[in-house]
Amino acid sequence: MSEALVVGAGIVGAACARALAQAGFAVTVFEAAAVGAGATRAGMGHVVVIDEPAGELALSARSRRLWDELAGELPAEVERAVCGTLWLAAGEEEQAEAERKAGRLAAAGVAAEWLDAAALARLEPGLRSGFRGALRVPGDSVIYAPRAAAWLLERSGARLELGARVRRLVARGVEFGDGSTRRADVVVNAAGLAARELTPGLPLRARKGHLVISERCPGLCAHQLVDLSYVRLAHGDAAESVAFNVQPRPNGQLLIGSSRQFDVEDPAVEPRMLARVVALAVENLPALARVPALRAWTGLRAATPDGQPLIGALPGLDGVYVAAGHEGLGITTALATAELIAAAATGRAAPIDAAPYRPGRFAEAARG
């Protein structure tokens, strides 16, 4: 039986473990901390189709479908809820953007509908008035990602080695902090931002985010509410940005985001950023002002130069694959990422074109 080693037990590592196990590998997962303790725990758990850049559209649409296919098997603790996303349009420009977005989503087979101001107010009476409307993507969902990662791992039957200190990846193997090595046919670097330490040279940057969770307050909103400026900001180069992004957890809590700061690696909650995130949320959902905020935290997204993840074989290191750099979309795209990794490792055909995610693409571009 061929052997595979996966470094990192976040949602991406867990999904890779499952896909490789299904492809017939005996899988071992190494995790330095706890399952889902990195970006997986920090994120919102929004399973959302993102339509730009083109590669993200294909990957997120495919992955959302895979999550939908798994829905019947997911245990209740994963707290999956198909709440849909409302992309809010504040002005004319955003409305035009919503129309373009609807077109791109439709081309990828993703349903979306435009809601005018009155329809939006009926669906989300807690929102401030003044929005021109919203693009509703009814098939988007939310999950509780740490539990989903644990479930994927359990299902994979992979062996989990907690507390494992992997120092770097070598050809067909990993090297531990104590200098010892383990060999296998396939090695996957799914260590999130730490992937750059295990494989020096990976073009990953930290993009810090702040999130807040509220006390249970069911009924304040029913959909994941995202300002249409989100995509522009998420994929822009601004050193720092904040967008309105609020998620109703199935248990009635509200998850309040979101912010992006490039190259800030100190995990401390910054009161200034916290204030910006909460202020925008309260402005758009005024009743939130009275809802107790339980806890704020930060997470470090692993960002790549073109905003698309690194998925596939690592050039120059035999048997080593990368599944990292998912920035804020790791939870959505974990399953499709894993599918691509398994396809690459077995030489089988991939369900979507893997070319946009080649880990070597930046070096190729540099060589011209």
- 286 contacts other proteins (rule: CB under 8 A): yes
Near other proteins by CB under 8 A: residue from 24, 33, 113, 236:
33
To which residue do tokens 């992955």 refer? 63
Could you give the 3-state DSSP secondary structure of residue 182? strand
- Residue 191 near residue 181, CB atoms below 8 Å: no
Q: How far apart are CA 108 and CA 224, in angstroms?
A: 21
Q: Which of residues 151-210 bind other proteins (CB under 8 A)?
A: 162
- 296 contacts other proteins (rule: CB under 8 A): yes
Cβ contacts of residue 85 below 8 Å, gap of 6+? 46, 48, 136, 137, 140, 223, 224, 225, 226
- 32 contacts other proteins (rule: CB under 8 A): no
- 75 contacts other proteins (rule: CB under 8 A): no
Beta bridge mates, 245: 226, 257
- 292 contacts other proteins (rule: CB under 8 A): yes
User: Residue 276 — φ and ψ, nearest 5°?
Assistant: -65, -45
- 34 contacts other proteins (rule: CB under 8 A): yes
Q: How far apart are CA 167 and CA 156, in angstroms?
A: 25
- 212 contacts other proteins (rule: CB under 8 A): yes
- The side-by-side arrangement of strands in the sheet containing 205-214 is 113-116, 133-137, 85-89, 224-227, 240-248, 254-262, 205-214
**Binding-site residue total for other proteins (CB under 8 A)?**
45
Degrees to nearest 5, angle at CA 347 with 145 and 52: 45
CB of 75 to other proteins, least distance (A): 11
Cβ contacts of residue 112 below 8 Å, gap of 6+? 101, 102, 105, 106, 135, 136, 137, 138
Segment contacting other proteins by CB under 8 A, of 44-52, 164-172, 285-293, 351-359: 285-293
Near other proteins by CB under 8 A: residue from 222, 293, 350, 352:
293
CB of 206 to other proteins, least distance (A): 19
CB of 46 to other proteins, least distance (A): 18
CB of 65 to other proteins, least distance (A): 27
The neighbour count for residue 323, using CB atoms within 10 Å, is: 34
Near other proteins by CB under 8 A: residue from 8, 10, 13, 36:
36
Pick between residue 112 and residue 142 the one whose CB is nearest to other proteins: 142
Segment contacting other proteins by CB under 8 A, of 10-18, 31-39, 309-317, 325-333: 31-39
Segment contacting other proteins by CB under 8 A, of 54-62, 97-105, 179-187, 282-290: 282-290
Quick one: tokens of 321?
């694959």
DSSP 267-282: -SPPHHHHHHHHHHHH
Quick one: tokens of 98?
């919503």
- 214 contacts other proteins (rule: CB under 8 A): yes
CB of 278 to other proteins, least distance (A): 4
Pick between residue 36 and residue 330 the one whose CB is nearest to other proteins: 36
- 279 contacts other proteins (rule: CB under 8 A): yes
Q: Which of residues 216-235 bind other proteins (CB under 8 A)?
A: 216-220
- 252 contacts other proteins (rule: CB under 8 A): yes
CB of 283 to other proteins, least distance (A): 8
Near other proteins by CB under 8 A: residue from 171, 294, 355, 363:
294
Could you give the 3-state DSSP secondary structure of residue 123? helix
CB of 150 to other proteins, least distance (A): 6
- 267 contacts other proteins (rule: CB under 8 A): no
DSSP secondary structure letter of residue 33: S
Q: How far apart are CA 181 and CA 166, in angstroms?
A: 9
Q: How far apart are CA 171 and CA 176, in angstroms?
A: 14
Could you give the 3-state DSSP secondary structure of residue 129? coil
* Residues contributing to the site for other proteins (CB under 8 A): 33-37, 41, 77, 126, 146-147, 150, 162, 212, 214-220, 251-252, 256, 269, 271-272, 274-276, 278-279, 281-282, 286-297
